[in-house]
Amino acid sequence: MEEAGRAVADAAQDLAPQGPALLLAGGGANGGDAFVAARHLLTLGREVLVLALPSRHPLTRLNRRRWRAVGGVTRPLSASAVSHRAPGAGVIVDGLLGTGFGPPLRPALAGVIGALGAARSHGTPVVAIDLPSGLEETSALVPDGPDGLPGTAGADLTVTFMGLKAALLFGAAAAQAGRVQLIPLRVPGDWVQAQAVAEQPTDAHVAALLPVRRADAHKGTAGRVWIVGGHPGTVGAAGMAGVGALRAGAGLVTLHSAADVPLLMPELMIHRHADLRAALLGTPESGRPDALAVGMGLGPDAAALARELLRWQRPTVLDADALQIELAGHGHAACIWTPHPGEAARLLGTSTQDVTRDPLSAARALQQRLSGVVVLKGGPSVVAYPGGLSVSRGGHPGMASGGMGDTLSGILAALLGQGLSARDAAVTGVRLHARAGERAAQVHGYGLSASDVAQELGGAWQDLSAALPAHRPG
């Protein structure tokens, strides 16, 4: 609590260094953080007032006493007190409700939140502690307040602890959080892993994971990748995965399909098989690829074929038609499963709305069910690996078009083929794909196609490499 409150004080001071600071303290530990922040703001020379609810929380009571001991002033919290004090404030710190909040919001606090929202709309900056009050930690939705009152005042800056919560990453809730500053705090790693909170790697961190080739690399050392997909009507899916794999650096890409796949790049080696299953499963150990992506447009028999291919224990991306719950228990550590929210809902036996309301928990549940690594696609995408979650923001709404996920599957297979672990391939592949989308969107906007994104993969790789502290040409 001490570290958390101090970080809030520093952030409030950076955001709005002038004028009195008004802190709103609820009855839980979130309120305790507010009392700690008040004490630090006072030592920074600010004029500070705390408006507080009574508390039964021992640490909050302790920090209220500490606040009083340094001469700090506390007044009872009410909507009218906030309306009265807010106009003179240079900054307001919202420590009303944090992760302990569960809707419905009680009317008394709804009035306080309404008064806070009014102050914010008149231009007083608001710093939220951990979460803007009224948001639920694990939900992308903004709960309604009582009697048509707003459920949250939102914030200009949210200082959050330990890890990023779903409410700060997704949907309408995230739009209320303003800028988000993450304070990791010194708490046991297994405590963090038990929460549905995510890390967000920087581009420099992602770039450090990218494969580096020796000068004498050749096509046989850069990864032999198979794309297994395509069915009459969905042949393009396999083709786009193949292009994604080539553009993400695979040395040799072979596309196996039961249908005629269009030759999108002459470098792709396309094999059409009358009996796809017999042709692939007859491959001797020495002829098997370094990595494969299975399922893009593969059709109704995808799961049965995928189950056989998983026995090879080769790094494998499972996408689209191969995302079937009957494969649970057949995965291994080098698998990457790439559902979008609809596919994730099918795998979890729930609704798409449930998945999009809390993508962090959905991704974590899927990873536990399927093993290996799960990429829950969206804007942003979540990577769930054993013991943790990573979120990749970025990309562009123009990427909401058919074929984008197929390209990603090819990229992931290429990175697996170049020797990355499933976790590193997922984290780097998702970011490369999103960065390529950002670049292509500068030209194509909402008219973006998956082929445009694949064209930009080389540039995206260069962009990420440039983020390394000592720039290493990609």
Ligand X SMILES: NC(=O)C1=CN([C@@H]2O[C@H](COP(=O)(O)OP(=O)(O)OC[C@H]3O[C@@H](n4cnc5c(N)ncnc54)[C@H](OP(=O)(O)O)[C@@H]3O)[C@@H](O)[C@H]2O)[C@@H](O)CC1
User: Which residues are annotated as part of the binding site for AMP?
Assistant: 377-381, 405
- For residues 386, 392, 396 and 399, what is the CA-based torsion angle, rounded to 10 degrees? -10
| Residue placing its CB nearer to ligand ADP in the complex, 91 or 434 | 434
Binding residues for (6S)-NADPHX: 237, 297, 340, 406
With CB under 6 A as the contact rule, the residue among 11, 89, 408, 414 that binds ligand ADP is 408
User: Least distance (Å) from ligand ADP to the CB of residue 112?
Assistant: 35
Binding residues: 237, 297, 340, 377-381, 405-406
Residue 379 contact, options ligand ADP, ligand X, none, Cβ 5-8 Å cut-off depending on partner type: ligand ADP
CA–CA distance, 75 with 50 (Å, rounded to integer): 6
Nearest to 330 by CA among 359, 294, 360, 358: 294
CA–CA distance, 316 with 310 (Å, rounded to integer): 7
| Residue placing its CB nearer to ligand ADP in the complex, 262 or 397 | 397
Residue 125 contact, options ligand ADP, ligand X, none, Cβ 5-8 Å cut-off depending on partner type: none
The tokens for 124 are: 């007083």
Nearest to 140 by CA among 362, 463, 321, 302: 362
| Residue placing its CB nearer to ligand ADP in the complex, 128 or 320 | 320
**Interface characters, 48-67, with ligand ADP (x: CB under 6 A):** --------------------
Q: Are 64 and 37 in contact (CB under 8 A)?
A: no
Q: Are 195 and 166 in contact (CB under 8 A)?
A: no
CA–CA distance, 308 with 329 (Å, rounded to integer): 13
The piece of 65-73, 269-277, 344-352, 375-383 that touches ligand ADP (CB under 6 A) is 375-383
CA–CA distance, 199 with 382 (Å, rounded to integer): 10
Cα 168 to chain centroid distance, Å, stands at 10
Residue recorded with tokens 């990218």: 210
Residue 340 contact, options ligand ADP, ligand X, none, Cβ 5-8 Å cut-off depending on partner type: ligand ADP
| Residue placing its CB nearer to ligand ADP in the complex, 64 or 396 | 396
Contact call for residue 431 and ligand ADP (CB under 6 A): no
| Residue placing its CB nearer to ligand ADP in the complex, 33 or 358 | 358
| Residue placing its CB nearer to ligand ADP in the complex, 79 or 399 | 399
> What letter represents residue 155's amino acid?
A
The piece of 14-22, 120-128, 258-266, 404-412 that touches ligand ADP (CB under 6 A) is 404-412
**Interface characters, 325-354, with ligand ADP (x: CB under 6 A):** ---------------x--------------
Q: Are 376 and 341 in contact (CB under 8 A)?
A: yes
Residue recorded with tokens 């906030």: 82
